[in-house]
Amino acid sequence: MTLPVTERSAPAKRLLATLLPIALLSVPLPLPAQPSNDSNGTVDSVSNDLPLEEIQTFAEVFERIKRAYVEDVEDRTLLRNAMRGMLSELDPHSAYLDKEEYQSLRESTEGEFGGIGIEVGMENGQLMVITPIDDTPASEAGLMSRDIIIRIDGTPTEGMSLQEAVTLMRGDPNTTLDISVLRAGEESPREFTLTREIIRSESVKHELLETGYGYLRISQFQSRTPDQARQALERMSREQPLEGLVLDLRNNPGGVLQAAVGVADLFLDEGLIVYTEGRVPDNELSFSASTDTPADDVPLVVLINGGSASAAEIVAGALQDQRRGVIMGTDSFGKGSVQQIMPLGNGEGLKLTTALYYTPEGRSIQAQGIEPDVDVVRGRLEVAEGRREIREADLEGHLRSQQAPRDREALSQRLREDYQLSEALNLLKALNVVDRRRN
């Protein structure tokens, strides 16, 4: 049914009366575009005039909603929705944040918040798991990178914004959350019931895989991560110098840019780490390594996968371009954009994409990701059962070794469960054999 066109209502007239003078006065935008050189070397001027025709159309749409929508809608709600739309249509990571969302984002950056411990993003309009955070309900339940979340507590996620989804998934501790996910290669969705917890995310873990071979796990990049990683390296090196190190960045969704720079600087003593480029000069930054480097010569293997994103890709890209370590695993996620959190005067905020970052050799990671030097897919080792070989230790009356036996059962089981980690350790041993022969 088509309704007749009627005269504009009073709210729309008031809105037009406010917006049209702004357009006619050609008020410059808050972040004006910088001039850019074309192929002929000339400089294009960028107009900062607000378009009059689009302003009129916006006012008309506003008026139609106020007059004809099935339910009464407050002007404040319509304007807030318009601001959300402006940002959500730019890219998957820009967003308008109300007071609760702004506070929630600040809490997650500081490393403590209530929820299930999951990093999500939007891809082709679908809510997708970027990665579950270590030791949280999401990781313990078996959620995986690139799972598509299709329902949250029975509510379909189609058409839902990223911020709306995050708000639904967070809540008070000890409350339950039902989510349905569709995994690649499967036709039927998987159902998960998770219990929310206070997520206190410790971003750094470490252990010795074998004597001289360390393992450094970074689950996300928080402000304290570089200091924690430095302390972990010092603890592992106390007994004897490290002969090799596995830096595990798998399922690391990123975090604070400066933290990524600090971690890369632990392994680099010179050269560029990362630089950013944006429209505003203040967003063009460059970060280089310092000489205060505790592990500049330790043989290094870096593990990445499809859940390694953003700041994790900065570290992997810097170490790869500087030929500092071997990147192993599968292609990373490909989030090469920088977001700034901008507070607004009313206690709300904007999360706005302001720049792209580049590896030392000028590679943009956006929508490309980091390709590993050595492809190793996720899997586990299966030991074939068969005839058992007899060794010297099985012979009756064999001479005893003067060295204490090593209890490797627990670690061996872990390496069997984690094929990528096992291959990383094997590669480190091979690198050391080659280095010893060269010396």
- Decide if pLDDT at 286 tops 50: yes
pLDDT bracket for residue 394 (50, 70, 90):
low
Torsion sign (Cα): 310, 315, 319, 321: positive
- Mean pLDDT over 241-266 rounds to 94
- Mean pLDDT is lowest, of 1-5, 307-311, 339-343, for 1-5
- Decide if pLDDT at 4 tops 50: no
- Decide if pLDDT at 13 tops 70: no
Cα–Cα distance measured from residue 62 to residue 81, given in angstroms and rounded to the nearest whole number: 11
pLDDT of residue 238: 87
Quote the strand ranges of 3-111, DSSP E. 36-37, 43-44, 95-97
- Decide if pLDDT at 309 tops 50: yes
Residues belonging to the chain: 439
- Decide if pLDDT at 220 tops 50: yes
- Mean pLDDT over 379-390 rounds to 54
- Decide if pLDDT at 86 tops 80: yes
Q: Which residues pair with 205 in a beta bridge?
A: 217
A 10 A CB-CB count for 168 gives 15
pLDDT of residue 201: 67
25, 55 Cβ separation under 8 angstroms: no
pLDDT of residue 170: 85
Ranges in the chain annotated CATH 2.30.42.10? 112-200
- Identify which of 61-65, 159-163, 343-347 has the greatest average pLDDT: 61-65
- Mean pLDDT over 388-415 rounds to 56
Nearest-5° Cα angle at 114, 109 to 115: 100
Task: Summarize pLDDT for 19-59 with one digit per residue, the tens.
Answer: 544 444 433 434 433 333 333 333 344 456 778 899 999 99
Q: Which residues pair with 213 in a beta bridge?
A: 210, 244
- Decide if pLDDT at 109 tops 50: yes
Provide φ and ψ at 397, rounded to 5°.
80, 15
Cα–Cα distance measured from residue 302 to residue 268, given in angstroms and rounded to the nearest whole number: 14
**Residue-averaged pLDDT of the chain:** 82
pLDDT of residue 11: 52
Annotated catalytic residue 310: yes
pLDDT of residue 49: 74
CATH assignment of 204-375, given 3.20.20.10, 3.90.226.10, 3.40.50.720, 3.40.1440.10? 3.90.226.10
CA distances to 24, 136, 208, 325 from 205, in Å: 59, 15, 11, 20
Q: What is the 3-state secondary structure (H, E, C) of 169-201?
A: HCCCCCCEEEEEEECCCCCCCEEEEEECEEEEC
pLDDT bracket for residue 439 (50, 70, 90):
low
- Decide if pLDDT at 341 tops 50: yes
Quote the strand ranges of 249-318, DSSP E. 272-277, 286-288, 300-304
Which residue in the block uniquely carries the two structure tokens 């189609």? 158
Ranges in the chain annotated CATH 3.90.226.10? 204-375
3-state SS, residue 415: helix
Annotated catalytic residue 201: no
- Mean pLDDT over 146-172 rounds to 90
| Per annotation, catalytic residue among 203, 310, 332, 337 | 310
pLDDT of residue 410: 56
pLDDT of residue 127: 93
161, 155 Cβ separation under 8 angstroms: no
Give residue 234's identity as a one-letter amino acid code. E
Cα–Cα distance measured from residue 93 to residue 343, given in angstroms and rounded to the nearest whole number: 16
- Mean pLDDT over 251-261 rounds to 92
Q: Residue 257: which residues within 8 A CB-CB, separation 6 or more? A: 274, 311, 314, 338, 357
- Decide if pLDDT at 114 tops 90: no
CA distances to 82, 126, 199, 220, 307 from 118, in Å: 28, 16, 10, 11, 11
- Mean pLDDT over 124-152 rounds to 90
Q: Residue 369: which residues within 8 A CB-CB, separation 6 or more? A: 313, 331, 332, 333, 334
Domain 112-200, CATH class in plain words: mainly beta
pLDDT of residue 240: 81
- Mean pLDDT is lowest, of 260-274, 311-325, 379-393, for 379-393
pTM of the model: 0.72
Give residue 217's identity as a one-letter amino acid code. R
| Per annotation, catalytic residue among 134, 248, 265, 321 | 321
Cα–Cα distance measured from residue 148 to residue 293, given in angstroms and rounded to the nearest whole number: 40
If one compares 304 and 240, the residue with the highest pLDDT of the two is 304
Provide φ and ψ at 174, rounded to 5°.
70, 10
Task: Summarize pLDDT for 174-216 with one digit per residue, the tens.
Answer: 999 999 999 988 989 999 999 999 877 678 999 999 999 999 9
pLDDT bracket for residue 154 (50, 70, 90):
very high
- Decide if pLDDT at 163 tops 90: no
| Per annotation, catalytic residue among 203, 335, 351, 422 | 335
Q: Using CA atoms of 210, 212, 217, 221 in order, give the dihedral in degrees to the nearest 10.
A: 180
pLDDT bracket for residue 396 (50, 70, 90):
low
CA distances to 35, 45, 278, 392 from 42, in Å: 10, 10, 20, 80
- Mean pLDDT over 290-305 rounds to 93
